[in-house]
Every structure is written in structure tokens, then in C-alpha cells.
Chain A
């Protein structure tokens, strides 16, 4: 089993739709969690950290479910500009503050 798994998609949704992605992780000792956005041929950009209590930033909501070992990202009122690959990243702990990335979920928002 991969350390961090994501459905690669693509998810094709109409503009204005609400879409959600999940990301599962295998190490129950994982300490911190992040969602990054990566545009084609660009570097990942931090979208948001994921807290145990859940957090929201505008149209984006992130949740952490430690019992089931997954994190989620919800995008409301999706825009064309939201089209990108969304990477989840997990700090597995154990020192070093390394991040393990999922393969990413591709989102395409269409007119």
C-alpha cells in the first residue's frame, strides 16, 4: 500500500459545481497534512494546511479524519481557474519534517 494515495482523476466538473477530493495515508503516526496545488509544468503551491478541527479558506474547506486516515478538500463554486492538479502531502513524523506526496488529483473545470 502506498504511503499516500489519491484518485488521479481527472475530475471534469462544470463551473460553479462543488467538488471534493480525498487522500488516504497509511501511517497513523503522521503529524501534519497539507494540500498543494500544482499547475501544469509549474511548482506546487501551498493551498492550505489541514487541521484536526477542519479549516476553511474562502471556497476551500479541508478536513482531517484521523480515525479513517484520510484528508479531504472541498471546493465550492468552482472556477475555471481552479483547474489544476491537487496534491496532498503528509508529514509522516519520525523527525526530519519530510513530506510524502500523493500523485495528485487532476481537476478540470469547464464552461
Chain B
């Protein structure tokens, strides 16, 4: 299956700092990537859709100025959590859409566990 990497795997930061998370599709091109957040014992919640070469589309309730998304190439999307606070601590997972697969399928990165102190 298609491979998606995510970096870093985990990060601990102080409140008020910004954290950048990278998502890469390693063996396919992804014009669309997705960013999710998952709190303990809860489902994945879609935060935003990242589109290569254009602005991201954010889900209702997700602050676009707090969660900055950049999809500069067909294999890389980044999510920057700006001015992080303890309530932003969560498991952030990206997925990349492989349009060549039938049906059109999303493959997930290994996730980034963010802890904000």
C-alpha cells in the first residue's frame, strides 16, 4: 500500500510556542491531504483539507489562523499549530489521498503526539 510519513512523531513544547508538523507521501503524489486530530478514546476529527497550490479548506470550528496549513508540493503538506496551549495537546494525524487507487483511498501517516505544557 501507499506510504505516508509524518514528522515529528512526538513533540513536547511550552505554551505559546508554535509547532510545525510535516506530512509526506513517499511513493505517490497527493494533490489532497487531510489533517485530523484525535483526543483519547475519541474518533478522528477532520480539521482541514489541504490542497496543493491553493488554500486549505477548514472544517467548522477550526481556526485557520491558529492551524496554518501549507501544501507547497505534491508530496508535502505542513500543519503549524501557532501559539499552542495545553488544550491543543492531542494526536495529530495526516492522510494523503491516492487518486490512482480504486476506490479513491486515504492513507494515514503515523501521527504526531503533541503535548503542550
Q: How many residues of B contact A (CB 8 A)?
A: 24
- The answer on a CB contact under 8 Å between A49 and B93 is no
Q: Are B103 and A43 in contact (CB under 8 A)?
A: no
Which of B44, B104, B113 is A101 in contact with, Cβ under 8 Å? B44
- B109/A43 in contact, CB under 8 A: yes
Q: Tell me whether B32 and A43 are in contact (CB under 8 A).
A: no
**Chain B residue nearest to A89 in the complex (CB):** B106
CB atoms of A98 and B46 under 8 A apart: yes
Contact B32 A97 (CB under 8 A): yes
Chain A 53-96, CB-CB to B under 8 Å as 1, else 0, gives 00000000000000000000000000000000001010100001
Judged by DSSP, the binding face of B is strand
Q: A42-B111, A96-B49, A97-B32 are in contact. Are A34 and B105 (CB under 8 A)?
A: yes
Besides A43-B93, A96-B57, 15 more A-B contacts (Cβ < 8 Å) are A34-B105, A41-B91, A43-B6, A43-B110, A43-B111, A46-B1, A46-B107, A49-B105, A87-B43, A87-B44, A89-B106, A97-B32, A97-B97, A100-B46, A103-B43
* Chain B proximity mask over A3-31: 1 for CB below 8 Å, otherwise 0: 00000000000000000000000000000
User: Which residues of A pack against B, CB within 8 Å?
Assistant: 32, 34, 36, 41-46, 49, 87, 89, 91, 96-104
Cα–Cα, bound, A83→B86 (Å) = 31
Contact of B43 with A43 in the complex, beta carbons under 8 Å: no
A20 to nearest B CB, angstroms? Answer: 20
Quick check: is B67 within 8 A (CB to CB) of the other chain? Answer: no
Does B42 touch A at the CB level, under 8 Å? Answer: yes
Q: Is the CB of A99 within 8 A of B106?
A: yes
A sample of 28 inter-chain contacts (CB < 8 A) reads: A32-B103, A32-B104, A36-B108, A41-B91, A41-B113, A43-B6, A44-B44, A44-B93, A44-B108, A46-B1, A46-B107, A49-B103, A49-B105, A87-B44, A89-B106, A91-B104, A96-B49, A96-B57, A97-B32, A97-B97, A97-B106, A98-B34, A98-B49, A99-B34, A99-B95, A99-B106, A101-B44, A102-B43
Min C-beta distance of B54 to chain A, whole Å: 13
Interface set, chain B 29-46, CB cutoff 8 A to A: 32, 34, 42-44, 46
